[in-house]
Amino acid sequence: MVPKVDTPEDVAKIYEVFRTHYSAKRITDTNTRLVIWIESARALLDMPRILSSTLNLHKNSGFFKLDAVVFGSDDYCADIGATRTPECTEVMYARQRFVACCKAFQLQAIDSVYIDIKNTEGLRKQSEEGQKWGFTGKQTIHPTQIPIVQKAFMPSPQKVEWATELVHAFSQHQAEGKGAFQFRGQMIDRPLLLQAF
């Protein structure tokens, strides 16, 4: 885990330390995954370059594959001079850009912590919102938050049923040589099918 990544060079320094201090064989044999934190305005705006560079470092070195990226909202707010609010509107743009950048590189997008540990309803709402926006998961800072976050990110039985039936219907229509089709009142094509996964 590498916190406070602001530039591609920050990650390159980590790779260089390991390349210098450990044998190449020992490093390339590891399945260690890399998780980085984006916590500043500079890093948020430079995310595409940071992510691309980090993925290339792995490709060229064979170790530390970037697996997930975490949004550090409190440091981000401090960096831009924003005041944290229960509604979190001050980080709406940042969260949406963050998800888009992570997904553009097929990486897990981990949402920021919810610091009001006694406000379980607020945590539930923000977790469900993050899941709908495309976040893969959410940080927690207290054990009582874990089941709430897990429930928000776990597909409901209704969603699993919908996805199972949709995949079956899609396969059936493909076998018949059909393209788009109607399913439960919706027009279905490939992009909607991908949401079933």
**3-state SS record for 133-196:** HCCCEECCCCHHHHHHHHHHHCCCHHHHHHHHHHHHHHHHHHHCCCCCEEECCEEECHHHHHHC
pLDDT tens track for 86-106: 889 999 999 999 999 999 999
Tokens 């997930």 -> residue: 68
Is residue 8 within 8 Å of 54, Cβ to Cβ? yes
pLDDT tens track for 154-170: 988 888 888 888 888 88
3-state secondary structure of 38: strand
Fold held by 8-154:
TIM Barrel (3.20.20)
List 29, 67, 74, 189, catalytic entry: 189
pLDDT given for residue 25 in this prediction = 58
pLDDT given for residue 167 in this prediction = 87
Average pLDDT, the chain: 90
Q: Which residue has the higher pLDDT, 184 or 3?
A: 3
Domain boundaries, the chain: 8-154, 158-195
Mean pLDDT of 46-68: 92
Strand partners, 65: 33
Residue 38 has pLDDT above 90, yes or no: yes
Indicate the pTM of the whole model. 0.83
Residue 12 has pLDDT above 80, yes or no: yes
Q: Residues of the chain with pLDDT > 90: what percent?
A: 60
**From CA 130, how far away is CA 13, in angstroms rounded?**
31
**From CA 22, how far away is CA 63, in angstroms rounded?**
12
Respond yes or no: is residue 189 known to be catalytic: yes
